[in-house]
Amino acid sequence: MQLTHEENQFERKTFPITLVCDHIYFQQNIGSLFRISEAFGVENIIFFGKDIPLTPRKINKTSRSTHLHVAHSIIEDFTELQSFLLDNDFEIIALEIASNSKPLKEVFIPKNKKIALLIGSEINGISEELLKLSHQIVHINMFGKNSSMNVVQAASIALYEITSN
């Protein structure tokens, strides 16, 4: 028998994870990122970029109202984002295929340290300036001809791996 939302036995938990969304503009993706962040107990979402379309009516279709329960903010300036990440002593983990990336399964999650998981835009991925800030760059091993996947799918896989550690 399928359980209702109220009947499930999952432990309610929040992880010290901040999801940093680098110039993500598609509202369906933004809504879905709220939903998956709420499901995985993400503490905070930062949307990095100008004119991020956080229009609740459009986002709500995919977020299923989770945007009301996950702390979030917009940071437009790179220097401000850099200061926030460095001043708060985050372990900065970028999810990107790069010449120096390692498989996600090899990610190192330090004990008692907050995690900033960087995910990239639908078009360009993570910017070079953010990759340079990262302590670790990880990728998801893929076995088909395609070398990328939707940002929400990738974030879901990474959050599962990080919260399972």
Q: What is the pLDDT of residue 133?
A: 97
Q: With bands split at pLDDT 50, 70 and 90, how would you rate the model's confidence at 129? A: very high
Answer CATH for 15-164 from 3.40.1280.10, 3.40.50.10190, 3.40.1670.10, 3.40.190.10:
3.40.1280.10
Q: Token match 């879905």: residue?
A: 32
Domain boundaries, the chain: 15-164
Q: With bands split at pLDDT 50, 70 and 90, how would you rate the model's confidence at 160? A: very high
Look at residue 9 and tell me whether its pLDDT is greater than 80: no
Look at residue 7 and tell me whether its pLDDT is greater than 80: no
Look at residue 162 and tell me whether its pLDDT is greater than 80: yes
pLDDT tens, 74-121? Answer: 999 999 999 999 999 999 999 999 999 999 999 999 999 999 999 999
Q: What is the pLDDT of residue 5?
A: 62
Mean pLDDT to the nearest integer, 120-132: 94
Q: What is the pLDDT of residue 57?
A: 77
